[in-house]
């Protein structure tokens, strides 16, 4: 199908995203899209990975005898795991069979702006229509995809999936598993509960049903003596997951933007909404059973939670291991010293509103229009959280490094696209606009906060 066919004019339609707030793609969007699509060519020896994604409603079984009316990619929750290699081109044709418009955001990908899947860079894909995303895979890591339209509803109903990009120099472990975490709020009839209300608006929507790969509290297995690489994605709307594997030690290998410099041994790791972590799990002894839990995490919500079970890990009989976890994984050059002078402050705050109760704002404004950023000019931003709640800050299209949190150095250097902002804190980040002009955004990845205005958009310009 041609670009022209996909991009025909929808200007007569009303696009609903966050309430009455409408972002529109620029006039030149069609031409920019065509250029981006045509210029995405694989490196020599690499290929075009073609994927068909159909967004459609199906009955999805989260547990034996428990069926939920879900919105899915290709009839499954999560959507299919999409896999490619660095240097490949990913081409995804999205067909919308939902009763409302959608679009797909490729979370964490350094792609051209017209492929970012937001309402700022493309016309939404109307029911019955298709749209093709095509971009080159530049970075190895664990990414994910999800709609950026009516996202509080579309993600909750099941529209999300993992996207894995492999590099040449990856640690070779015994086996790999992808764990996509989510929670689901069901009503008395066992269906997706209605949306909205003050608690949901304030806390973000959390549910009492915990899913891993679309199943309620499933069991995983690992062979005794083996070490596996787990790629974990937090796809929940608002839930923070302080991931524990029975209290056992595991090694962090990578975060949002791929491998870190050296493995870090921990017995828990925090995944804010939108976060990913790659970990080396094991070895364990035969017969062990470990609880994969989210430990209690207080983020100053109205509704509180204790430790909660996501899954169980059962250790089977022993198998030989050939896993090697190298002591050095890669080198990450620092973008800037922690003393670098910030050139922008992004302040996540709340304001009381007579009409809406609470507004979630950036520098005092809902859906802030921020200053442009020039390609090649290092960005050092102080990202401030003025509130008493945690907020996960997400930047589209570019990885950043955390330079400091309240003046303290982070425990390790990494590339991130999500960082949790603790209450009343300042997180200094650095990032480089490395090209790819166009409309970009940052926002809180608690989807209800994003929808309520905790986002800013800006142009990257030459």
- Indicate the residue among 55 and 153 with the shorter CB distance to Cu ion: 153
List the one residue out of 103, 147, 112 whose CA is nearest residue 397.
Answer: 112
Nearer residue to Cu ion within complex by CB, 113 or 421 = 421
> Would you count residue 55 as binding Cu ion (CB under 5 A)?
no
CA distance 396 to 108: 7
Out of 236, 277, 419, 446, name the contact with Cu ion by CB under 5 A.
Answer: 446
Q: Name the one range near Cu ion by CB under 5 A: 19-27, 111-119, 210-218, 447-455.
A: 447-455
Q: How far is CA 213 from the centre of its chain?
A: 15
Largest pairwise CA distance in the chain? 64
The residue (of 436 and 450) whose beta carbon lies closer to Cu ion is 450
How far apart CA 181 and CA 203 sit, in angstroms, is 18
Measured distance CA(64)–CA(57) in Å, rounded: 19
Q: How far is the CB of 115 from Cu ion (least distance, A)?
A: 26
The interface mask with Cu ion, positions 397-436, x = CB under 5 A, is: ----------------------------------------
In terms of CB distance, is 137 or 446 closer to Cu ion?
A: 446
Binding letters toward Cu ion, positions 337-376, x by CB under 5 A: ----------------------------------------
Give me the least distance between CB of 380 and Cu ion, in Å please: 22
Interacting stretch for Cu ion, rule CB under 5 A, among 7-15, 69-77, 97-105, 444-452?
444-452
User: Distance between CA 431 and CA 408 in Å, rounded?
Assistant: 18
> CB of residue 393 vs Cu ion: minimum separation in angstroms?
9
Which of 82, 444, 451, 455 is close enough to bind Cu ion by CB under 5 A?
444
Nearer to Cu ion, 36 or 272 (CB): 272
Nearer to Cu ion, 391 or 428 (CB): 391
Give which of 228, 232, 193, 198 is closest to 209, Cα–Cα: 193
456 SS3 class? strand
CB of 38 to Cu ion, least distance (A): 38
Shortest separation between residue 151's beta carbon and Cu ion, angstroms: 13
**Of the candidates 273, 296, 146, the residue with the CA atom closest to the CA atom of residue 205:** 273
The distance of closest approach from Cβ of residue 449 to Cu ion in the complex, given in angstroms and rounded to an integer, is 3
Alpha carbons within 13 angstroms on the beta-carbon side of residue 121 total 30
335, 379 Cβ separation under 8 angstroms: no
What residues pair up with 224 in beta bridges, in sequence order?
Answer: 318
Helix (H, G, I), strand (E, B) or coil at 269: strand
Q: Which of 449, 453, 455, 456 binds Cu ion (CB under 5 A)?
A: 449
Which of the residues 308 through 327 are near Cu ion (CB under 5 A)? none
Burial code (b: 16+ CB inside 10 Å, e: under 16) for 44-67 equals eebeebebebbbbebebebeeeee
* Binding-site size, Cu ion (CB under 5 A): 4
- If the CB atoms of residues 122 and 301 are measured against Cu ion, the closer one turns out to be 301
Of 259 and 452, nearer to Cu ion (C-beta) is 452
Q: How far apart are CA 255 and CA 411, in angstroms?
A: 13
Shortest CB 31 distance to Cu ion, Å: 35
Pair type for strands 391-395 and 438-444: antiparallel
Q: Which stretch binds Cu ion (CB under 5 A): 67-75, 172-180, 236-244, 443-451?
A: 443-451
Nearer to Cu ion, 167 or 422 (CB): 422
What are the structure tokens assigned to 248, written together? Answer: 């056992």
Question: By CB under 5 A, is residue 391 in contact with Cu ion?
Answer: yes
User: Cα(436)–Cα(300) distance, rounded to whole angstroms?
Assistant: 38
Q: Hey, how many other C-beta atoms are within 10 angstroms of the C-beta on 378?
A: 12
* List of residues contacting Cu ion (CB under 5 A): 391, 444, 446, 449
């Amino acid at each position: 199908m041609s670009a022209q066919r996909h991009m025909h004019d929808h200007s007569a339609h009303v696009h609903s995203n966050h309430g009455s707030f409408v972002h529109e793609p620029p006039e030149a969007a069609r031409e920019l899209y065509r250029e981006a699509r045509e210029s995405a060519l694989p490196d020599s020896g690499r290929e075009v990975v073609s994927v068909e994604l159909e967004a459609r409603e199906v009955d999805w079984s989260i547990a034996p005898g428990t069926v939920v009316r879900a919105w899915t990619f290709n009839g499954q929750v999560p959507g299919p795991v999409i896999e490619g290699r660095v240097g490949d081109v990913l081409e995804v044709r999205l067909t919308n069979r939902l009763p409302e418009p959608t679009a797909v955001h490729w979370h964490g990908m350094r792609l051209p702006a017209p492929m970012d899947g937001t309402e700022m860079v493309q016309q939404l894909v109307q029911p019955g229509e298709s749209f093709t995303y095509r971009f080159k895979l530049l970075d190895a890591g664990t990414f994910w995809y999800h709609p950026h339209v009516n996202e509080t509803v579309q993600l909750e109903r099941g529209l999300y999936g993992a996207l894995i990009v492999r590099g040449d120099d990856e640690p070779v472990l015994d086996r790999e598993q992808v764990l996509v975490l989510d929670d689901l709020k069901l009503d008395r009839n066992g269906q997706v509960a209605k949306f909205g209300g003050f608690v949901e608006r304030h806390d973000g929507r959390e549910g009492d049903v915990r899913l891993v790969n679309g199943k309620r509290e499933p069991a995983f297995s690992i062979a005794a003596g083996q070490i596996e690489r787990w790629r974990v994605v937090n796809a929940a709307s608002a839930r923070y997951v302080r991931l524990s594997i029975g209290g056992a030690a595991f090694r962090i290998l990578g975060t949002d933007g791929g491998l870190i410099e050296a493995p870090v041994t921990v017995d828990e790791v925090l995944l804010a909404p939108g976060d990913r972590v790659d970990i080396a799990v094991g070895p364990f002894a035969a017969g062990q059973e470990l609880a994969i839990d989210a430990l209690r995490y207080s983020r100053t919500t109205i509704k509180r939670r204790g430790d909660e079970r996501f899954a169980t890990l059962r250790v089977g009989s022993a198998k030989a291991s050939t896993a090697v976890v190298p002591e050095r994984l890669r080198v990450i050059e620092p973008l800037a010293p922690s003393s670098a002078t910030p050139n922008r402050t992004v302040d996540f705050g709340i304001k009381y509103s007579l009409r809406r109760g609470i507004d979630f704002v950036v520098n005092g404004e809902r859906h802030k229009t921020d200053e442009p950023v020039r390609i090649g000019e290092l960005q050092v931003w102080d990202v401030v959280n003025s509130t008493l709640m945690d907020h996960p800050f997400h930047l589209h299209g570019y990885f950043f490094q955390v330079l400091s949190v309240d003046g303290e150095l982070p425990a390790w250097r990494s590339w991130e696209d999500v960082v949790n902002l603790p209450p009343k804190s300042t997180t200094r980040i650095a990032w480089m606009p490395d090209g790819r002009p166009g409309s970009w955004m940052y926002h809180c990845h608690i989807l209800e906060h994003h929808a309520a205005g905790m986002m800013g958009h800006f142009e990257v310009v030459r």
